[in-house]
Structure 1
């Protein structure tokens, strides 16, 4: 498991992540519990995307300066942006599950920011470990790439069949287990995870929400990490593209939550992306698909899916005056 990026770029990357999380926490504490508006979500999304693009430029310069090979620098930059886009795309399905969890537990919008922030920190730690372990396994056992590819192929097919179906959170085995292990109050107590009820310290619904969000991220990490290894085996690019995509997850959640119904076909597109990446990984020693072509395929699939979603968006029921009724 090796990378061509210099050591100082590792230090810069870690520093950016730490500073970003610190500033995010400062802003979160300063603002307090409040409902995130679409405007605020758009602004923060643009900030995170701009930061990621700037880092891609720094990566290009570091590789170009260290090797003197412009073509290699271009390739590494393309690998980064492709991995970033794939992780962002797969995070969309993750976000829809978060939305389902928040809706099921009736989590007040003002409290959702803290849950997502804690989920992001957990995701960063978890994925760093998984990526480093996965990179080592691939370096030692090349045939694991075929297993990753087959897994993504099967996952994509299963996602296609499950698309459009409403998941039943009530039958979730993890939720049933948590409720058996933890006595849970019926009401929230602000953003607290525990509360006192009849003199006993018991969990609040917020604790169940955090647990399910963490479990969801574990499940989706198993899908997304092998997908990026299909683009590059460089552990730095796999890790950095993954983490930068995660940093903007909270802002993207509030942005997509406001227009989730408009992209009702997106799960089908994500399923096709996984099948494509899985097939690419399984054929890695037979057909070398250029990174630029992979990027174009992923963008094309997502663009077509979003366009079809907008074209076939369900119409709102008409009121007596002929105007669309507001959704609750």
Structure 2
């Protein structure tokens, strides 16, 4: 049995069950490799480790894209790369929320890899299910493109709304229900899901943070799946582009940690991309229209945006967004303020990590960020929310560092 996927240009890609099986097994093997060799033993990845593995996963995704180009043709290859780049950009945006959740739950640095890998695995499973549901709806009802288009346009508008990063997104409904049903310990017990406190079995915060990650993954999938269906309706390409965009996300988190705050315009760029794809979907829906209350059920003669054009727009918007963020004085200021606050909190939180080298690294980063903040012009220092609390937090971190530094001589 073979499945063919037609394209507007008249070409088609035939994917055999054998290719499907090999692809799924390969992706599962990459995830299993991560579980066995990277997160089985809790540790804090170095910058070099994160960079090497992030580069490797990106390389695998690009190599797969080249194979699609060779065996599937230019149209299939263009659709894959457009989908992969869009999903990868959305994944980076998702890392902002992961960072908030992990910080809210004060997940020890050594165990953050396991939380992220669980989130990636759950996200892949959830998105795969939605991919096949979405494909089934598209095959049966062409008007679904109208809905997908509206979802993306609404999402694009919501991304432009200012949001507070201190509002405790981790404390969602599912987490609150879990706390009421299951006895929960106040502290972590390594990376265990359950622990024993005073002879009573309890779940640890590790389970709660994974539930919070899973809940947000479902919300992310509702945005990302319509977005990629706006670029290709080939289920195989949708699945592989989505899967490869998620693989390596764990390493990317540690590589970009501390730099995420610098991408101040990323939400604007992603908003523009989602709005563009949403309009593309609605134009396609009009072109294939069969709703009786629109043009008497006849197709509407509108322009359709090619995949090549879509790829150029997506890459162009991302390049401009990232360049503008990196060059932005506001981005530098926001990164320094947020970094100093986060580093001070992590240093003072004794459960953050038991690794002395990591704690020293966090303190030094706080000092560097604090120096950058002190050199900021007044208009950017005004970005500090509740400055007196910010200064007090830094002072307590300095006092704690001085106290720890004197301990060896005291002995």
TM-score by length of structure 1 reads 0.90
Q: Aligned partners of 1:60, 1:12: CA distance in 2, in Å? A: 18
- Residue 19 of structure 1 and its aligned partner are, at CA, apart by 2.1
Segments of 5+ residues of structure 1 without an aligned counterpart are 64-72
Match of 1:67 in 2: none
Q: Aligned partners of 1:75, 1:163: CA distance in 2, in Å? A: 39
* Alignment pair present for 1:27 and 2:27: no
Match of 1:66 in 2: none
Q: 2:51 aligns with which of 39, 42, 55?
A: 42
RMSD over equivalenced CA pairs, Å:
2.3
Match of 1:282 in 2: 282
Match of 1:220 in 2: 220
Equivalences for residues 1-328 of structure 1 within 5 A: 2-3=4-5, 4-7=13-16, 8-28=18-38, 32-63=41-72, 73-162=73-162, 166-169=166-169, 172-284=172-284, 285=287, 286-312=302-328, 313-315=331-333, 316=336, 323-324=371-372
Count of residue pairs the alignment pairs up? 316
Q: Aligned partners of 1:135, 1:85: CA distance in 2, in Å? A: 20
- Residue 2 of structure 1 and its aligned partner are, at CA, apart by 4.7
TM-score by length of structure 2 reads 0.72
- Residue 26 of structure 1 and its aligned partner are, at CA, apart by 2.5
Q: Aligned partners of 1:212, 1:249: CA distance in 2, in Å? A: 17
Match of 2:296 in 1: none
Judge conservation of contact 2:69–2:76 (CA < 8 Å) in 1.
yes
Judge conservation of contact 1:36–1:109 (CA < 8 Å) in 2.
no
Match of 2:389 in 1: none
- Residue 61 of structure 1 and its aligned partner are, at CA, apart by 2.7
- Helix, strand or coil: the match of 1:314? helix
Q: Aligned partners of 1:165, 1:296: CA distance in 2, in Å? A: 32
Match of 1:69 in 2: none
Alpha-carbon spacing, 1:140–1:201, altered in 2? closer, same or farther (3 Å): same
Q: Aligned partners of 1:105, 1:130: CA distance in 2, in Å? A: 29
- Residue 323 of structure 1 and its aligned partner are, at CA, apart by 4.7
- Residue 11 of structure 1 and its aligned partner are, at CA, apart by 2.6
Q: Aligned partners of 2:176, 2:110: CA distance in 1, in Å? A: 26
Q: Aligned partners of 2:167, 2:229: CA distance in 1, in Å? A: 29
- Helix, strand or coil: the match of 1:324? helix
Q: Aligned partners of 1:296, 1:154: CA distance in 2, in Å? A: 23
- Larger Rg: 1 or 2? 2
- Helix, strand or coil: the match of 1:5? strand
Q: Deviations over 1:152-200 (max 9, x none)?
A: 1001101111457554336633332232222211110000011111221
Q: Aligned partners of 1:61, 1:269: CA distance in 2, in Å? A: 31
Judge conservation of contact 1:41–1:252 (CA < 8 Å) in 2.
yes
Relative contact order, CA 8 A, sep 6+: which one is greater? Answer: 1
- Residue 277 of structure 1 and its aligned partner are, at CA, apart by 1.0
Alpha-carbon spacing, 1:162–1:180, altered in 2? closer, same or farther (3 Å): farther
Q: Deviations over 1:35-70 (max 9, x none)?
A: 12222111111101110111112222332xxxxxxx
- Residue 13 of structure 1 and its aligned partner are, at CA, apart by 1.1
- Helix, strand or coil: the match of 2:107? coil
Q: Aligned partners of 2:278, 2:164: CA distance in 1, in Å? A: 22
Q: Aligned partners of 1:196, 1:212: CA distance in 2, in Å? A: 22
- Helix, strand or coil: the match of 2:106? coil
Segments of 5+ residues of structure 2 without an aligned counterpart are 6-12, 288-301, 341-366, 375-393, 398-411
Q: Deviations over 1:238-270 (max 9, x none)?
A: 111101111121112112223112112212211
